[in-house]
Chain A
Amino acid sequence: MWKNFLRIAVLAVSVGTTGWLLADDHGNRTIQKSMPSLDNPLWRAECGSCHGAYHPGLLPERSWRALMGKLDDHFGENAALDAATQRTITDFLVAHAADRGESRRSAKITQSIANGETPTRISTLNWFVRKHHEVSPATWKRPAIGSAANCTACHPGAEKGDFSERAIRIPRA
């Protein structure tokens, strides 16, 4: 009887701890895996007119500040905004930046960036490169994709922060 109780107890503890050991979110169980779905009309209209509106959770605060601080030379192009619009969008990006701890995906992005670095090109992040290592150069060049800047080509929910594996649809041409 006592032996049986011990067996059941050991089993119960094992089952319980396995789940805990397998989970990768100790201490922050309330944090979602995916970035939150956000909206800001200025961010959507202004950032989204030349490329998709990149989710704030894709870069840390220092990167957004660096980008928004030199919009007159935005990867070689002039993307200048009036001062009020620039401030509103910067505030929005910073409030939900990757290092604000809003999602586990953003936490992984932050962890993949060295402390002294301020990357501004999302496609050069170690996290991005690691996640896309299976995508061949020919796939990137498909007309419906074009370049790594075109998140929504394969991640239809990219602007809503949805980069989940099951939502990926890679265009065939």
Chain B
Amino acid sequence: MNKPRLCLIALLLTAGAAQAGEASPVLAHYAAAARQQDAGFSGFSSLRGAAFYRAEHLTPRGAASCSTCHGDDPRAAGKARTTGKLIEPLAPAVNPQRFTDLAKAEKWFGRNCRDVLQRECSTGEKGDFIAWLASLK
């Protein structure tokens, strides 16, 4: 096997490991929970996470998605819909504090899922969501 191909494989492996959640203790927690819920759990999907982030839901205050307040690009600051207060970027690449505190993540999923989806989010949805945000460079 030649050297460039080895490098490529190493790179892909690293990317895979990062997506599996080693970068974020919160993502690791959701991965463990997902495995417990389903023995056949095959990992979170950043593609599903991206779609979830933009999916619109009907709320009592009109259509809303995660991006309504967090913005089209999670690497930039968002803006709270009602108060206009700036929301720090969600992407860990620009805001390393994100998804390092499980209680904080659970608090916000708890609030925002009920506000936007009118229900709680599943472990899979939370994991996909973080996997996508963590994949943004």
Contacts and interface: CB of A to CB of B under 8 A. Distances in A.
Interface of A: 49-52, 72, 75-82, 146-147, 149-150
B96 interface: no
B107 interface: yes
Given A76-B61, A78-B115, A50 B80 contact: yes
Given A80-B107, A149-B84, 7 more contacts: A50-B85, A51-B85, A77-B115, A78-B114, A147-B83, A150-B83, A150-B85
Contacts of A78: 110-112, 114-115
Interface string B101-137: 0010001001110110000000000000000000000
Which among A76, A78, A79, A81 has the highest number of chain B CB atoms within 10 Å?
A78
Nearest to B113: A78
Contacts of B85: 49-52, 150
B82 A77 contact: yes
Contacts of A146: 83-84
Contacts of A77: 82, 111, 115
A52 B85 CA distance: 8
Contacts of B4: none
Q: How large is the interface on B (under 10, 10 to 19, 20 to 34, 35 or more residues)?
A: 10 to 19
A77 B61 CA distance: 10
Contact of B84 (A76, A79, A81, A147): A147
Contact of B83 (A50, A72, A81, A82): A50
Nearest to A71: B111
B60 interface: yes
A80 B110 contact: yes
Contact of B60 (A52, A76, A149): A76
Interface centre among A49, A75, A79, A150 (most CB of B within 10 A): A49
Nearest to B116: A78
Interface in B70-87: 80, 82-85
A128 B84 CA distance: 20
Nearest to B80: A50
Contacts of B107: 80-82
A75 B83 CA distance: 11
A150 B79 CA distance: 13
Nearest to A48: B85
A79 B110 CA distance: 9
Nearest to B83: A51
A8 to B, nearest CB: 61
Contacts of B114: 72, 78
Nearest to B84: A146
A75 B110 CA distance: 17
Nearest to A72: B114
